[in-house]
Amino acid sequence: MKYDILIVGSGLGGLVCADILSKEGLSICVVEKNKQAGGCLQSYKKHGCNFDVGVHYLGGLDEGQILNKFFKYLNIYNDLTLKKLDTDCFDLINYKNEDYPIAQGFSNFIEKLHAKFPNEKPALEKYIEQLKKIQSSLSMFHEMKDDNYKFLFDNEFNTLGAYDFLNSITQNKDLINVLSGNISLFAGKREKTSLYLYGLISYSYIESAYKIAGGSQQIADLLIHEINKNGGKVLTNSEVIKFNSENDKLSSVLLSNGEVVEAETFISSIHPSLTLRMVDNKSIRKSFSNRINSLENSVSAFTIDVVFKDNSFKNLNYNYYHYNLDDLWDSPLVNESNWPNAFMFHIPAEKVETAYAKNLTILSFMPFDFVKKWENSTPENRNQEYEDFKEKMAQKLLRKVDSLHPGFINSIKRYNVSTPLTFRDFSGTIDGSLYGIMKDYQSPLSTFIHPRTKVPNLLLTGQNIAFHGVFGVIIGAILTCGELIGIKKIIKEINDV
Ligand SMILES: Cc1cc2nc3c(=O)[nH]c(=O)nc-3n(C[C@H](O)[C@H](O)[C@H](O)COP(=O)(O)OP(=O)(O)OC[C@H]3O[C@@H](n4cnc5c(N)ncnc54)[C@H](O)[C@@H]3O)c2cc1C
């Protein structure tokens, strides 16, 4: 069978494209290398506990807010089981041994931080005022009528640095650090992170912050349900190893099991560099490949999935961020001796609430260099030295958490560790990068990836197009589909939701 559209990768980007295009009556096939679909939306069950691989909380889901509209347009909102995080503290920032609550609702946010910073009300008001302006600049997206992607790079907030902005509203270093407490959500870098990216992410969570009770896999499962309902297919255990060309166009993909799948049009949701490596087509210019390959990718992470003994660790309905740094924007300067200078943990929401947590995931950024010496190994043949490294780092991180939450280590029944190598092998990203290509406010155009390529029937989607994160990946998928069925129509349907 020859499909209208073949989509590589069943993460959020691939599945959203499949949902939108299958609704249009196009025949769709999504091919996924892993045995479970969902990419960073995957949850897995172990020892009776649900763990999320990536996505653990979402912003902007209250009525009328942007993600709410997107999910309704995709027809998945009504069946999602959501759990609102604590209104007065959805993120707790622990910095210099002090806890700072980040609250939902703009005036509540100001009020709670004002109590901690009595002289900083004007700065907090300026902060919120600016976030609101950034969010309303997205009207450029809501009013898009053609393939004009200016809102992604030619936008006043996209050429300003997040760090510079924070320093412009206050001289209080502690407040700047607290307002940067969500830095791990975007792997912030002082010289790269734009005010736009920072502002959109921060705004959406302050608007409203939710966990998906039972795990983020629900989003993937509901999207697959929609795709199947519309006649589309999602094939797992189907790794693409090559895009075949005929004349100037692509004709099929070759899977690692030897199967060939034909289609009229191809959408790749995996990293553009990895896509280009598999495409043998004269239309891809060397200069384009060189530019994409030279872009910096965001950092990777070391994570520990912890299972607790019964009734031993209290359930917390907020995410916990800890920093042992004078300046949070120095966190990329981590090395093996000062690691972990920062970490976050989150407790997945269960469908039935309990007073004690069943499990928790700790995440700390870790550069790929830490595990580079094992980069050519496979999960099956990693040596004892690697296992010792994992255990040494796990003990460091667990002790760090225990120092802030006494009794933590005693409450652990078992734990499971992932390194940047684990994440690389799972997701197929470069060096286990969490969020793909780093956008750069000093040169926004150079990090902008257009959904169309020079190969007439190859398009790109996923976290490298617009932004990473659930909200950013959906925008990217809308732009990609807009190239095929017209952006005006999609935007109208979203606005009419
Ligand atoms: C640890 C972590 C925590 C996060 N937390 C949040 C959060 O709380 N909230 C939020 O909004 N965002 C969060 N994000 C970001 C968000 O998860 C991602 O930006 C988004 O899910 C990426 O979607 P994607 O479709 O671009 O990529 P992916 O989800 O990576 O999907 C790509 C898919 O392609 C498959 N693939 C790769 N190569 C091949 C091949 N050759 N053939 C076939 N299939 C292939 C992969 O297996 C994968 O399934 C988090 C990310 C990480 C890593």
Tens-digit pLDDT profile for residues 46-61: 999 999 999 999 999 9
What DSSP designation does 10 have?
Answer: -
Q: Is 255 in the pocket of ligand 1 (CB under 6 A)?
A: no
Taking the CB of residue 87, how many other CB atoms lie within 10 A of it?
14
Q: Is 15 in the pocket of ligand 1 (CB under 6 A)?
A: no
In 3-state terms the chain splits into helix, strand, coil percentages (rounded to 5) of: 40, 20, 35
Rounded to the nearest angstrom, the distance between the alpha carbon of 41 and the centre of ligand 1 is 7
Q: Which residue has the higher pLDDT, 1 or 199?
A: 199
Is the pLDDT assigned to residue 244 strictly greater than 80?
Answer: yes
DSSP 41-74: G-EEEETTEEEESS---EES-STTSHHHHHHHHT
3 state SS for 357-414: CCEEEEEEEECHHHHHHHCCCCCCCCCHHHHHHHHHHHHHHHHHHHHHCCCCHHHEEE
Q: What is the pLDDT of residues 189-229, one digit of tens each?
A: 999 999 999 999 999 999 999 999 999 999 999 999 999 99
Q: Which amino acid is at 443?
A: S
* Distance of alpha carbon 124 from alpha carbon 285, whole angstroms: 48
Check pocket membership of 215 for ligand 1, CB cut-off 6 A.
no
Handedness of CA 438, 439, 443, 445 (dihedral sign): positive
Give the Å distances, CA to CA, from 459 to 14, 275, 367. 11, 10, 30
- Mode of pairing for the β-strands spanning 91-95 and 319-323: parallel
Give the distance from CA 342 to its chain's centroid. Answer: 19
Tell me 318's DSSP state: S
Question: What is the pTM (predicted TM-score) of this model?
Answer: 0.97
**Does 22 have pLDDT greater than 80?**
yes
Ligand 1, atom 48: closest residue by C-alpha: 39
* Atom of ligand 1 at shortest range from CA of 346: 8
Where residue 335 falls among pLDDT bands split at 50, 70, 90? confident
- Whether the pLDDT of residue 332 is over 70: the answer is no
**What is the mean pLDDT of the segment spanning 137-148?**
79
* CA torsion angle 437 219 475 211 (round to 10): -80
**Mean pLDDT (whole number) for 161-169:** 98
pLDDT of residue 157: 93
Of the pLDDT bands very low, low, confident and very high (cuts 50, 70, 90), residue 353 is confident
Q: Cβ(434) to ligand 1 under 6 A?
A: yes
321: part of which helix (H) or strand (E)?
Answer: strand 319-323
- Output 222 or 139, whichever has higher pLDDT: 222
> Which phi and psi angles does 222 have, rounded to 5°?
-70, -35
pLDDT of residue 169: 98
pLDDT for the residue numbered 152: 80
Residue 267 and residue 481: Cα distance in Å, rounded?
Answer: 9
* Whether the predicted pLDDT of 146 surpasses 80: no
pLDDT mean across residues, the chain: 95
What number does CATH give the domain 2-41+216-295+439-496?
3.50.50.60
Give the start-to-end residue ranges of the domains of the chain.
2-41+216-295+439-496, 102-212, 300-432
Name the residue with the closest Cα to ligand 1, atom 49: 39
The confidence score (pLDDT) of residue 336 equals: 85
Q: Which parts of 137-216 fold into alpha helices (H)?
A: 139-142, 150-153, 162-169, 173-179, 195-207
For residue 39, how far is its CA from the centre of ligand 1 (angstroms)? 5
Q: How far apart are CA 162 and CA 157, in angstroms?
A: 9
Q: Tell the residue nearest (CA) to atom 32 of ligand 1.
A: 11
3-class secondary structure, 284:
coil
| Structure confidence at residue 78 (pLDDT) | 96
pLDDT at residue 420 in the model: 97
How do residues 427-452 score in pLDDT, each as one tens digit?
889 999 999 999 999 998 889 999 99
As given in the structure block, the two tokens for residue 18 are: 């499949």
Range with the lowest mean pLDDT among 280-284, 289-293, 384-388? 280-284
Angle between helices 162-169 and 195-207 (to 10 degrees): 70
Q: Is 160 helix (H, G, I), strand (E, B) or coil?
A: coil
Mean pLDDT, range 93-119, rounded to an integer: 97
Ligand 1 centre from 30 Cα, in Å? 15
Per DSSP, the residues of 420-483 read HHHHHHHH--GGG-SS-BPP-TTSGGGG---SB-SSTTEEE-STTTS-SHHHHHHHHHHHHHHH
User: Could you tell me the two tokens for 47?
Assistant: 């020892």
Residue 241 and residue 378 in contact, taking contact as beta carbons nearer than 8 Å: no
